[in-house]
Amino acid sequence: MWKITNDAPSVLGLKANNVRNKVLVLQSLVGFSDEEIRRLITSQPTLLQLSVKKNLSPSILYWIRQLQIGKDELKTLILGCPTLLKYSRSNVHGKLMFFQTTMGFSLSECRKLLI
């Protein structure tokens, strides 16, 4: 709780339903367990400041669709680098295009690199 309060004090002002909704989205779209949610929020409390409709859901769905990635792989990816959920889709798209067009990696190779 200290880390959350220190790193993202505005989280304390969020309503319980708002936080619950974010947790439910993370659990339903990615399959995070309660313990994984705790680890995720402890390591990156600012994720609770993101909007479900504008950030979390679209970002998660983008990763699933763009990389053709399953829940288990996505879970590994997000737990390894939670800030990925904070990147805009255009930012991620630009990075993927760089790896595919400039570096010559296939989609499968990009997926392996990230995971």
pLDDT digits (tens, 9 = 90+) for 27-82: 999 999 999 999 998 888 889 889 999 989 998 998 888 888 888 999 999 999 99
**4 pLDDT higher than 80:** no
**3 pLDDT higher than 80:** no
Q: What is the distance between the alpha carbons of residues 65 and 69, in angstroms, rounded to a whole number?
A: 7
Concatenate the DSSP letters of all residues of the chain into one string.
-HHHHHH-GGGGGS-HHHHHHHHHHHHHHH---HHHHHHHHHH-GGGGGS-IIIIIHHHHHHHHHHTT--HHHHHHHHHH-GGGGGS-HHHHHHHHHIIIIIS---HHHHHHHH-
Structure confidence at residue 40 (pLDDT): 92
Name the percent of the chain lying above pLDDT 90: 38
